[in-house]
Structure 1
Amino acid sequence: MRSNYLFTSESVSEGHPDKVADQISDAIVDLFLSKDPEARIACETLTTTQLVVLAGEIRCKGVYENGAWAPGAQEEIERTVRETVKRIGYEQDGFHWETLRFENNLHAQSAHIAQGVDASGNKDEGAGDQGIMFGYAANDTPDLMPATLYYSHKILETMAADRHSKAAPFLEPDAKSQVTLRYEGSKPVACTAVVVSTQHAKGYDQGDKEAELKAYVKGVVAKVIPADLLSDETVYHINPTGSFEIGGPDGDAGLTGRKIIVDTYGGASPHGGGAFSGKDPTKVDRSAAYITRYLAKNVVAAGLAQRCTIQIAYAIGVAEPLSLYVDTHGTGTVGDDRIEDAIKSLKELGGLTPRGIRTHLGLNKPIYQPTAAYGHFGRKPEGDFFPWEKTDLVDKLKAAL
């Protein structure tokens, strides 16, 4: 493992076209789970100039059964979509929550998928798809996330809060950030570069208004990134193209699931390839990625390693995972194989079956829209939200070793 290097991660704001799509898809997931905790949802969203299109497969008692919509259901879906866009803040000529065109192309779940996933007779609920999923944790930050991604998210979260509160009225919803840190001994010691591109009101690309915007962004960076990491040598690229008035879905089409590195660990960990948003928790792309983050975070929180990557694999329709792999990158205080055995011994995890994961983390609830911007990991667990960020396995893992 290298001890001296530069590493970079990026984030995108809630108004980025792909993130608009993610938030709409997860708003639909929440809507259906609020009606039926056993709903099946695979909702993809396309956003572009004055248009939102939904597509995918669903099954939901009281909403969509036997190939037919319940009275008022489609109207509620459209209302949910428009409310999501309004909450983000899009009231532009090229993308406006009230006047955009909307298409709903959701249809019944494949019977062949259902027969493999649903529990029946002596068969337990199977995984909603085949695939590999990864979880990761590192002691870079208090939330045990890679620092480059953590700061990239926080810059945009702060800017969005200022936009919503009118503290920075010149900001528009679309934005991207990027943070480069120098690591020595696997710890961040300096911020060498920050990139922020933000959609802005007319005129904020020249003269005093441009200077005001750039000064504001540097002030946000100074609030987010610790002072000992910033210096006169930190390079800033703020709206490096010069102008960013046209943005969001009007500037570029958005699709669900195109920001999976932003959603996870900023490139610091492998990614299984499957997106999270728009999927109910029987889809192991989502639920298994959450349980592996949960396990990796607890391993690091327990002091068993400074960094931890966990991989798990499934076959569609099969309940038991095919493999479990732990890698502490040479930082473990015990052998990685012993950590694997300790995880497998924890009965509360239900053998890491899809049902066991959903039950332990309480995933059959409408808790997903908040995950769809600023990362699924490194968030504060509150109430039913972000249960995979809890560190309640620390003592049990230690006892199992």
Structure 2
Amino acid sequence: MRSNHDAIVDRFLQRDPFARVITECAVSTAIVFISARFESEAIVDFTKIARQVIKQVGYTQLDFNAKTCSIMTSLKELPKSENRCWDEKKLSEAEIEEISVKDQVTVFGFACNQTKALMPLPIWLAHQLAKRLTAVRQEKILPYLAPDGKTQVAIEYKNCKPHRIYSITLIASQSKLVGANGANLKRLQEDLRDSVIDVVFADEELKPDANTRIFIDSDDPFAIGGPSVHSGLTGRKNAIDTYGEYSRHSGAALSGKDPTRIDRVGAYAARYAAKNVIAADLADECEVQLTYSVGLSRPVSIQVETFGTGKISDEEIAIILEKNFDFRLAGIVREFNLRFLPAIVKGGFYKKLAAYGHVGRLDIGVLPWEETDKVAILR
């Protein structure tokens, strides 16, 4: 249901590229609660968007589905501000400098050479399993699955390099209850092994071995998942949205915010910088930390950590990044065209980031912060 956050952001920006909006969503059995603050001329039907998202995700249970669930909203339209409609494409460099951030925040970006997406291998594999789990449900390969699941891959490292796959955990929600000791559970385990795990690892260099521990709904079958049995605020699993706890991430959620929120777009800019450092072969691992203060346009601190893998010093890399990357709020929005992507990309833009991560994506075209177009300059 975190898709609902960014579906709302998309709809606002499609109708008003200069809209400002922040939205939260909580779910429980038969209930969706949406809260939002916004400043815009656009008219957005929050309830309609929520029902569309629920239907698209695939929730059809009697106690939670798009037609019958209750949707409650708490909406606040903010007073009009004089500088809401600044167009970064038309501003001079001096004017870009005058656009300050409204929040104090420290954001992190990370990249490493463990995968083709320059992402840590554990979160990369976990996302591939999650995407395949969705695919086998939607394509009716395993039609008894329901739209909720969990994946985890544990990797053993040697000398800071992935060495072997220690364990794979796959928990899938089913449309009907599966007994823990019944034949149905055995069938589920065989189906997920054949149709999900084996397919995902077929093209991976590092594969499960004879000693890899594989857990598939092993202790307590997930049965019917989603809001039917769970409740809580959605869109708050920041590690899943970023680097899977392999590296640090900001405490602020990424989804549900328009592009003027530095806690969202700053994280994208930090990833952009870190990825280009790795692509330029300046290090094997790189973390970029940006700290912003209210009232200033630039970060007050740019820190780089390469964990002993840098070809040059971390301080030198930080100086190079500060010189060649625009970390100012309006500069980031301009560089990535963040206001206008929802209207350009078919089906919305931010909504596509709500599942399988905001970074390291190779399945939805090249995200602007995933470009490696600064490599020549960095080298």
Q: Distance in 2 between matches of 1:166 and 1:394?
A: 43
> SS of the residue aligned with 2:191?
helix
Report how far residue 332 of structure 1 moved: 0.7
Q: Does 1:199 align with 2:173?
A: yes
Contact 1:117-1:126 at 8 Å conserved across structures? no
Gapped runs of 5+ residues in structure 1? 1-19, 64-72
> SS of the residue aligned with 1:242?
coil
2:378 aligned partner, one-letter code:
L
Q: Given the alignment, which residue of 257, 263, 267 partners 1:279?
A: 257
Partner deviation per Cα, 1:139-169 (whole Å, 9 max, x = no partner): 1111010100111111110010110111111
Residue number in structure 1 paired with 2:309 = 331
Contact 1:173-1:199 at 8 Å conserved across structures? yes
Report how far residue 315 of structure 1 moved: 1.5
Report how far residue 223 of structure 1 moved: 2.2
Residue number in structure 2 paired with 1:26 = 6
Report how far residue 117 of structure 1 moved: 8.0
Q: Distance in 2 between matches of 1:381 and 1:199?
A: 24
Q: CA RMSD in A?
A: 2.1
Report how far residue 187 of structure 1 moved: 1.5
> SS of the residue aligned with 2:102?
coil
Q: Does 1:290 align with 2:268?
A: yes
Report how far residue 382 of structure 1 moved: 5.3
Q: Does 1:254 align with 2:237?
A: no
TM-score (norm 2): 0.90
- Structure-to-structure mapping, 1:39-118, within 5 angstroms: 39-63=19-43, 73=44, 76-109=45-78
Q: Which sits farther off after the overlay, 310-319 or 324-333?
A: 310-319
Aligned residues with identical type, % of pairs: 35
Report how far residue 45 of structure 1 moved: 0.5
Residue number in structure 2 paired with 1:322 = 300
Contact 1:125-1:354 at 8 Å conserved across structures? yes
Q: Distance in 2 between matches of 1:48 and 1:363?
A: 32
> SS of the residue aligned with 1:305?
coil
Q: Given the alignment, which residue of 164, 167, 186 partners 1:211?
A: 186
Q: Distance in 1 between matches of 2:156 and 2:221?
A: 30
Report how far residue 304 of structure 1 moved: 0.5
Gapped runs of 5+ residues in structure 2? 343-348
> SS of the residue aligned with 1:229?
coil
Report how far residue 80 of structure 1 moved: 1.3
Residue number in structure 1 paired with 2:360 = 378
Partner deviation per Cα, 1:202-229 (whole Å, 9 max, x = no partner): 2533533211210122222222233753
Q: Distance in 1 between matches of 2:134 and 2:183?
A: 22
Q: Does 1:160 align with 2:134?
A: yes
Q: Distance in 1 between matches of 2:187 and 2:42?
A: 52
Contact 1:170-1:204 at 8 Å conserved across structures? no
Residues 1:228 and 1:301: Cα distance change in structure 2 (over 3 Å): closer
Report how far residue 246 of structure 1 moved: 2.8
Residue number in structure 2 paired with 1:391 = 372
Q: Which sits farther off after the overlay, 235-244 or 300-309?
A: 235-244
Contact 2:153-2:169 at 8 Å conserved across structures? yes
Contact 2:277-2:375 at 8 Å conserved across structures? yes
Residues 1:142 and 1:256: Cα distance change in structure 2 (over 3 Å): same
Residue number in structure 2 paired with 1:16 = none
Residues 1:213 and 1:126: Cα distance change in structure 2 (over 3 Å): same
Residues 1:382 and 1:218: Cα distance change in structure 2 (over 3 Å): closer
The alignment of Structure 1 onto Structure 2 pairs a total of residues equal to 361
Report how far residue 241 of structure 1 moved: 3.2
Q: Distance in 2 between matches of 1:53 and 1:160?
A: 25
